[in-house]
Amino acid sequence: MRTEVDFDVVAKGHVGAAGWRVAVLLAGIVAAGGACGGSTSSVDAGPSVNPDADPSVPDATPGMAPSGPDASAPNGLSDEFNGASLDTSWKVTRGELFDETSVANGELQLVVSKESVWYHGDAGPALWKGVAGDFKATTSVHVHMDGDPSRPPGSYQFGGLIAFDPDESQHNYVFAVVGPREGLQIELKTTVDNQSEVTAQGWGSTEAELRICRVGDRFRLYTRTVGSDSWGEPAISYDRPDLPGTLNVGPFAYSLYGFQTMRAKFARFYLEEVGSEADCAKD
C-alpha cells in the first residue's frame, strides 16, 4: 500500500524549523517503542559535530557540495566495495554526521546515530560522485540495528540512494530509502527549493534493491526485493526541469532521532549511462 504524506500539515505549520522539530520529537519519543517497525510520528533534526569522524574521507565546503570538474559521465564510477577502505573517488557531504564510514567484506557500511535528516531546509550526510548527464544508479542496501543484523533499526532511520543538486543554497534532490516509518517501508522523496514531498509504500523487509534513473528532466525511482531479476514499473517518477545537468549521486543514511544507532550496509553501487527511458529497467 502506498501512502501520500504531507508533512507541511503534520509538522511544519507556522512555528519554524526549530519549533516543529522539538514538538514532533516529543511525540516521537512516545512511539519510540516501534524500533522494530512500530508506528511513530517524526520530523527531521539538525546536525551535530563528531570529533571522531573519519579524516580520510574529505568533507564538503559548508553550504556547497562541490562537483564542477569532478563530475564525470556515469560509466567507470561504479564500486563493488571489494577493497579494505573507501575508494578515494568518493566524496562526502556533512561527514561529521556519520559515526562510521567503512568498507569490509564487500560492503560499504554507514553508521548513524546523530539527529540528521533530508527534509525541507534540513540536509543530512551522504557519500557521492559527481555525475554528468543521464544515468542510472543502483544499489542493494540492508539496514539494521547496530550490533544485531536481525533487528530492524529504530523508527525513521533509513539507508538508500540520493541524487542532489551540488548548489545547496537551497536543497533540491530526489531519493529512495528503506527503513521503519509506520512499519518497514520504502520512502520516496522529491524536494524543490527546500519544499519536500514524501511518498511511502509498505515493504516488509530491511533489505531492498533501489535504482534512480535520469533521462532528461525525468527521474524514475525503482524498488525491488534483493535477488529479483526484473525491475518492473517505477515506484514513482518525478519531473525535475529545475535540476542541473550535473548532480551528486550516491548512497546515504540518516537517523531522525538521536537515541539509537543504525548500520546501513551497501553490497554494491553501480552507475551506468542510459540512452533512453527503455534502459532504466534493464540490468
- Residue pair 170/161 in contact (Cβ under 8 Å)? The answer is no
| DSSP H or E run through 30 | helix 16-30
Q: Which fold has domain 2-276?
A: Jelly Rolls (2.60.120)
Buried b (16+ CB within 10 A) or exposed e, 247-280: bbbbbbbbbbbeebbbbbbbbbbbbbebeeeeeb
Q: Write down the pTM of the prediction.
A: 0.77
pLDDT at 259: 85
The more confidently predicted of residues 74 and 91 is: 91
- In angstroms, the CA 41 to CA 273 distance is 38
220 pLDDT higher than 90: yes
pLDDT in tens, 109-163: 999 999 999 999 999 999 999 999 999 999 999 999 999 999 999 999 999 999 9
The more confidently predicted of residues 256 and 35 is: 256
pLDDT at 62: 30
